[in-house]
Structure 1
Amino acid sequence: MKLKYSVTPSCKPAPGYMLYDYEIGEAEFEYFSLESLAEEMALEYYTDHDGWESTWPMHLHIYQDDQLLGTFKMEIDYDPTFTATEADPEQ
């Protein structure tokens, strides 16, 4: 099953925003809630479509056959940071 989603700063879907393709099996679509699907799509947007450069929260709009299935406010629960220190080779 092919779905599409867009990510916008406002709650209302806006023309001109990029639509991203999202593939999901029929059985998976029946099993997952739209909220869970939105979370998976937000993760894909964050990791695969430069979503780490966006200002969050954002709104994610899910479409099937050009019909809006739902709009969800997406927030990042955490954004990991890393600290490096040179390791002591004696330890």
Structure 2
Amino acid sequence: MRADLAFVGSGGIAPYGLTGFHLTDFHLDEAATERGVLADASHRCVPADSGRFGRTAAHRACEPDGFHPLITDTPFPAELHTALGRAGSDVITA
């Protein structure tokens, strides 16, 4: 399935490794589905409330360059903002 616009949620967004942070999920099948949807979509958005920041789930869904933009409800930690900037992604605060 190929989507023009995909909105993919997550279990957590936390600093990880050299890329700065990863989008993660608690369930392996959901993380695999998210990876597939993000890989095939023309435009990839991640809505994430502030409760997701700094939280790491067991399965990696994607790295910071796998989506653009991140849509959130509040400003988030500086290290995540820096990592998103390096990945070329923007943040929309609702």
Give yes or no for TM over 0.5. Answer: no
* Bigger-Rg structure (1/2): 1
* Structure with the largest fraction of helix: 2
**TM-score computed with the length of structure 1 as normaliser:** 0.30
